[in-house]
């Protein structure tokens, strides 16, 4: 069989055209963040990178990302040296914009490459489905909104993640999968959320004998351990020599931040806050005590400590415990399976992503890609997987809308997302094979109803609210969006848990 059309490179080219046209679009403070990091890494000695604080956007990614910025800054020097001055705050000459936006497009080639690896690693009937899934990731509205408008480098890093996941498909490349993931952790520590799945998987499939839990494959353990040590050594070693590790850790893990991020990520805590808001109204009738001090904090949706008026407060410890508990459930199953299929591993990664997204402390709405992207790789396994994927695809992308609030980008984010949803829900629906097991409950109905509700919701949040209330009650559309999306993500999580445990 020849190539499947369209090819990934064809799609990548056409989207690149759209992405270049988006150069003048809105860019968030993340643009300045990355410009500042270019400046820091280029103009300061290594030892000062994690201490520099001229800009409020201090370096808070692990060292590999800092090295990555350093490499880019070597090119940036030729484009516009002024962008590399640490004191040049909020500098955005057109050369800087072109350069930074271009680096996002160029580094995203890694994603294209990894997706091609994924397609090439699939065989037979599933190849066509793999191609569809790969294109859906390549064209993901999440990446378009976050990377190419809002501004970040997720495309490149999800490329590394996918490459690592694909390497796990064959026994011969298991080691490389683990090492690629270790390198990814040294780029961006948010992937720690997925680390438990990797740990359990590599332990079971690589470090222990296939037949018995009690026979340790010593050579493999040494190879993996040495490799990981080497990678972490390259990343953190230079800083460890100067005793800067505590400083780096305090930058990487700022526990002083609140439970909910500026906008509420659509997770359990968004529903919890929503419930709390409702209880404020109901409390007098139910005779519940209301903490007056908390009354105004959530409504503004600002960064800071979130306190609840009626429900008990949530501590980082609780979040951490809940996250680990819900990760442990699928991981236990992964560990005790007789043979681990690749899809089981991807499922476990996805469920780890779900658990940390749903229960984590200070989760950012952008983290939803941690769930969507691994899930996309297996969403076409059969119709039951697809049933769980659909509400996530809708909720996850709709929840990203508040990231872009400027009117000029409104048509882009809505039309592009609608385009993607229409196209891929249609294509996936035709490509997903029927399951060998019976459908288990009314999940299809739920997801259809759920998807339908999104339309009036978007209309209300983007148009009706502004006309009716103007600038007041600004938290309402945000709260509706995140509560709605939370229902979708939680529903899809429950659905996928059932699928995972019954397949």
Partner 1 sequence: MAKPSPSPHKPRRKAKQAAVASGSFVASSFGPVETMTRVPTFPLAALLWPARGSVSQWELLPLILMTAGLFRWAAGLWGYSGFEKPPMFGDYEAQRHWMEITTHLPISQWYFHDLQWWGLDYPPLTAYHSWICGKIGSLINPAWFALFSSRGSHDPTLKIFMRATVVVSEYLVYIPAVVIFVRRYSRLSGVATWSASLALVAILMQPGTILIDHVHFQYNTVMLGFVVASMSSMLAGRDLWAAVFFVAALGFKQMALYYAFSVFAYLLGSCLFPRLRLSHLMAIATVTVISFAILILPLAVGTLADAKRGIDALPDIDGPRPPLPLFPWLADHLDTEGSTYLVVEQLVQMIHRIFPFARGLFEDKVANFWCALNVVIKIKRYPAALLQRAALLATLASIIPPNLVLFFRPRKDLLPLAFAATAWGFFLFSYQVHEKSVLLPLAPMTLLLAGSHGLSKTTRAWVGFANILGCWTMFPLLRRVDLSVPYAVLTLLWAYLLGLPPTSLGVYFHDGGNTWTQWATLFIHGGFYLLMLFWHVLVQFVVPPPDKPDLWVVANVGVGAAGFSLCYLWCLWRLMMQADILPRSWLARKDKVKAQ
Q: Does 412 bind partner 1 (CB under 8 A)?
A: yes
Q: Does 13 bind partner 1 (CB under 8 A)?
A: yes
Question: Which phi and psi (to 5°) does residue 260 adopt?
Answer: -105, 145
Q: Does 418 bind partner 1 (CB under 8 A)?
A: yes
Return the residue of 11, 79, 311, 476 that touches partner 1, per CB under 8 A. Answer: 11
Task: Name residue 26's beta-bridge partners.
Answer: none
Check if the beta carbon of residue 361 is closer than 8 Å to that of residue 328: no
- For residues 396 and 412, what is the distance between their CA atoms, to the nearest angstrom? 17
Check if the beta carbon of residue 206 is closer than 8 Å to that of residue 225: no
- For residues 431 and 434, what is the distance between their CA atoms, to the nearest angstrom? 9
- The three-class DSSP label of residue 55 is coil
Stretch that binds partner 1, among 59-67, 123-131, 216-224, 252-260 (CB under 8 A): 123-131
Tell me whether residue 133 or residue 190 sits nearer to partner 1 (CB atom). 133
Q: Does 10 bind partner 1 (CB under 8 A)?
A: yes
Q: Residue 24 CB, nearest distance to partner 1 (Å)?
A: 5
Q: Does 423 bind partner 1 (CB under 8 A)?
A: yes
Q: Does 455 bind partner 1 (CB under 8 A)?
A: no
Q: Does 424 bind partner 1 (CB under 8 A)?
A: yes
C-alpha angle with apex 274: 366 to 392, nearest 5 degrees? Answer: 40
Site string for partner 1, 164-203 (x = CB under 8 A): ----------------------------------------
The two tokens of residue 339 are 């043979």
Q: Residue 466 CB, nearest distance to partner 1 (Å)?
A: 11
Q: Does 303 bind partner 1 (CB under 8 A)?
A: no
Q: Does 401 bind partner 1 (CB under 8 A)?
A: no
Task: Name residue 208's beta-bridge partners.
Answer: 216
Q: Integer distance in angstroms from the first to the last C-alpha of the chain?
A: 30
- For residues 354 and 343, what is the distance between their CA atoms, to the nearest angstrom? 16
Q: Residue 377 CB, nearest distance to partner 1 (Å)?
A: 15
Tell me whether residue 137 or residue 260 sits nearer to partner 1 (CB atom). 137
Tell me whether residue 332 or residue 422 sits nearer to partner 1 (CB atom). 422
Return the residue of 43, 52, 79, 128 that touches partner 1, per CB under 8 A. Answer: 128
Look at residues 85, 62, 379, 89 and name the one whose alpha carbon lies nearest to residue 248: 62
119's CB contacts (< 8 A; 6+ apart) are: 4, 8, 127, 130, 131, 134
- The three-class DSSP label of residue 158 is helix
Look at residues 493, 492, 494, 499 and name the one whose alpha carbon lies nearest to residue 382: 499
Q: Does 426 bind partner 1 (CB under 8 A)?
A: yes
- For residues 127 and 13, what is the distance between their CA atoms, to the nearest angstrom? 22
Q: Does 407 bind partner 1 (CB under 8 A)?
A: yes
Tell me whether residue 98 or residue 335 sits nearer to partner 1 (CB atom). 98
Contacts with partner 1 by CB under 8 A lie at: 2-7, 10-11, 13-15, 17-18, 20-25, 128-129, 131-132, 135, 139, 407-408, 411-412, 415-416, 418-420, 422-424, 426-427, 430-431
């Amino acid at each position: 069989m020849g190539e499947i059309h369209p090819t990934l490179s064809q799609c990548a080219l056409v989207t690149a055209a759209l992405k270049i046209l988006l150069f003048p679009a809105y860019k968030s403070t993340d643009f300045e963040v990355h410009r500042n990091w270019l400046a820091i890494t280029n103009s300061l000695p290594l030892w000062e990178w994690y201490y520099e604080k001229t800009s409020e956007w201090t370096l808070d990614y692990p060292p590999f990302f800092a090295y990555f910025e350093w490499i880019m800054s070597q090119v940036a020097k030729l484009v516009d040296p002024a962008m590399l001055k640490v004191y040049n705050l909020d500098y955005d000459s057109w050369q800087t914009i072109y350069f930074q936006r271009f680096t996002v497009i160029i580094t995203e080639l890694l994603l294209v490459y990894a997706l091609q690896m994924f397609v090439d690693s699939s065989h037979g009937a599933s190849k066509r489905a793999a191609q569809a899934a790969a294109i859906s990731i390549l064209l993901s509205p999440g990446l378009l909104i976050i990377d190419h408008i809002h501004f970040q480098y997720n495309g490149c890093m999800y490329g590394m993640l996918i490459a690592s996941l694909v390497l796990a498909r064959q026994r011969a490349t298991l080691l490389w999968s683990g090492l690629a993931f270790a390198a990814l952790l040294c780029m961006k520590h948010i992937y720690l959320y997925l680390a438990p799945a990797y740990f359990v998987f590599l332990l079971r499939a690589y470090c222990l004998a296939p037949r018995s839990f009690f026979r340790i494959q010593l050579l493999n353990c040494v190879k993996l351990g040495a490799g990981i040590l080497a990678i972490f050594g390259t990343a953190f070693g230079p800083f460890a020599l100067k005793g800067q590790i505590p400083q780096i850790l305090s930058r990487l893990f700022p526990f002083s931040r609140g439970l909910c991020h500026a906008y509420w990520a659509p997770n359990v805590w968004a529903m919890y806050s929503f419930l709390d808001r409702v209880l404020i109204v109901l409390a007098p009738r139910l005779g519940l005590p209301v903490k007056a001090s908390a009354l105004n904090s959530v409504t503004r949706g600002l960064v800071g400590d979130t306190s609840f008026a009626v429900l008990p407060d949530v501590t980082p410890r609780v979040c951490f415990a809940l996250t680990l508990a819900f990760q442990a459930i699928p991981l236990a199953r992964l560990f005790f399976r007789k043979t681990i299929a690749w899809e089981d591993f991807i499922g476990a990664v996805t469920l780890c992503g779900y658990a940390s997204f749903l229960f984590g402390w200070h989760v950012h709405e952008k983290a939803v890609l941690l769930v969507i992207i691994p899930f996309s790789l297996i969403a076409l396994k059969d119709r039951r997987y697809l049933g769980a994927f659909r509400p996530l695809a809708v909720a996850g992308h709709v929840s990203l809308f508040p990231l872009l609030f400027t009117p000029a980008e409104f048509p882009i984010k809505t039309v592009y997302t609608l385009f993607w949803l229409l196209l891929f829900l249609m294509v996936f629906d035709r490509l997903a094979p029927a399951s060998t097991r019976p459908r288990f409950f009314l999940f299809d109905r739920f997801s259809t109803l759920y998807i339908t509700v999104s339309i009036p919701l978007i209309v209300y949040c983007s148009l009706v609210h502004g006309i009716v209330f103007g600038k007041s009650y600004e938290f309402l559309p945000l709260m509706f969006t995140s509560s709605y999306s939370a229902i979708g993500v939680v529903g899809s999580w429950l659905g996928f848990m059932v699928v995972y445990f019954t397949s």
